[in-house]
A and B are shown apart, each in its own frame.
Chain A
Amino acid sequence: MGDGASVEMTRDELRRDLIEGTEMAAKRGKIPMLTENELDYLEDMFACPSRIWGVERGHEAVMSKDGSVNTLCSSRLSSGVAAPIGREAAIRLFETAFAYDSMEVGHTDYSVKPCKFLATVEQEHMELLQQITILPLFYGFMPNLGLYYRPDGAYANPSDLLPTGKIEEARRTQEEALEACQQDTIWLSEKMVEVAADGINYDTVASTGDAEFLASLRACEHITKTTDMAVEIGMAAEVVLGFHGELEYDGTRLAGLWPHQQMKLVEKAGASIFGPVVNNNSKKSCAWNVARAVTFVKACTAEATIPVHPNVGNGVGGVPMFEVSPLDMVTRASAAMIEIGKADGL
């Protein structure tokens, strides 16, 4: 199930959930459903008693990673094990022991606002790691506009203003805060340009809605126009929430955009890689969730001109919402994203 619990299903039940999942995505996103052949693949995959599934040989894709090495170094917050090792050692383990295709340097406190005060430390980590590693290294962080609002930040909180009907005040504070977030995002990105990172990963973008998405797109556009730096934009959720409601990028209203629509703006902003998110429904089966997720991702990859790396962490992309997700479901979601979603990586 979408919460990680085991469930037994007949083939008919499985097929019904797959169809309902893809129908739900198609209806919400106004995109094509999966074909019968694609549903057949998913049905066979879920019906197979094998513990581990995988892509066909030759169909392998590129792994990029958000959250840096928090899986090893952090705590439950990131499904981490608090391994008693430093970030340099953890990244080298990802490169050699785990054979990852690319990796990310990032701080445990992963948002741009706290990270900017640690920029010189972060630069030093990037410099040292560039000396000793071979795989491409991103620097990753979240724009996380939410930290710019009270009580964490200086700007009035739209979540306080909106319930009292102060719509215009809520919009103005978001417009002011997004400028600050955008400047910080550009500033920290430029710090990583100085120390020759291979790329920047803006992660969990639009977590606070359309204003944060706009700040991230503008920052991406600035960095890619003024430097040679590659930018990956990974989203926070499947739809951009309209906390502001009227913000636009290049003439497109941001509120309510689905993954395939977000992708087009991310391309326009100059990004090298787009990371769509499709949320899980923890009360539905993994078959339902995977079918729904790959339907959205397939709509992205059908039109993308840049690589698409869908998010497949806990609670997104068909992976159950649990801190230690079952291996059989993670590997099935993984393979389905590439074989059916036609993802360029994860």
Chain B
Amino acid sequence: MAMAHALASSIGGIKTAGDLVARMQLKKMRLTEAKAYVADKLGVSTFDLSDSTLMRTVREELDIGTVTAVPGVAKGLEAKTRIADLLDIKINCVERLMRKTGLVRDPALEQAGRR
């Protein structure tokens, strides 16, 4: 079922730019607005966002994670940290990474003597 919908209608997740458009929908952007926002940040057209050939290269160049296993390309949280910068948004787990690693000052941790 899920596969059928993915084939018929999906942008294509991290194979293309589907994860990025989804992130903007979490910010309450509707599809057209979310696609335009992401396309602008990536420097591509909205049509390109679901082009797996083009986006494969774009994602590797931007180092925001690729669908195939490529050694050296950003993985997981590394990729999401770069995506947060690229899209100029806050991603909860990236914010937490910053706090945990001390890359961002966290008064709560300082008060608890853990940083």
Taking beta carbons and an 8 Å cutoff, which residues of A are in contact with B?
Answer: 52-55, 57-58, 60-65, 71, 79, 94-96, 98-102, 130-136, 193, 196-199, 228-230, 272-273, 304-307, 312-314, 319, 325, 327, 330-331, 334-335, 337-338, 344-346
Contacts and interface: CB of A to CB of B under 8 A. Distances in A.
B8 A98 contact: no
Contacts of A331: 4-5, 7-8
16 contacts: A60-B11, A60-B50, A61-B9, A62-B11, A62-B25, A62-B31, A64-B22, A71-B2, A98-B3, A99-B18, A102-B19, A136-B19, A230-B26, A273-B25, A306-B28, A344-B31
A304 B30 contact: yes
B1 A132 contact: no
B91 interface: yes
Contacts of B16: 99
B22 A312 contact: no
B105 interface: no
Nearest to B29: A307
Chief secondary structure at chain A's binding surface: loop
Contacts of A132: 75-77
The 6 closest A-B CB pairs, nearest first, are A101-B18, A99-B13, A344-B31, A196-B92, A331-B8, A130-B93
Interface string B69-96: 0000001110110010000001111011
Contacts of B29: 307
B9 A99 contact: no
A312 to B, nearest CB: 6
A71 B7 CA distance: 16
Most buried by B among A65, A135, A305: A135
Contacts of A95: 13-14
Contacts of A199: 26
Given A196-B96, A198-B91, A325-B1, A101 B12 contact: yes
Chief secondary structure at chain B's binding surface: helix
Contacts of B27: 230, 272
B5 A307 contact: no
Interface in B32-69: 34, 46-47, 49-50, 64-65, 67-68
B6 A312 contact: no
A330 B49 CA distance: 24
A64 B29 CA distance: 15
Nearest to B2: A71
Contacts of B5: 63, 312, 330-331, 334, 346
A305 B79 CA distance: 30
Given A99-B18, A100-B6, A101-B21, A314 B1 contact: yes
Contacts of B95: 196
Given A96-B67, A102-B22, A196 B11 contact: no
A131 B15 CA distance: 19
A62 B21 contact: yes
B50 A58 contact: yes
A292 B48 CA distance: 33
Contacts of A62: 10-11, 18, 21-22, 25, 31, 34
A314 B5 CA distance: 12
Nearest to B50: A60
Contacts of A312: 5
Contacts of A135: 13-14, 18-19, 22
A272 B28 CA distance: 5
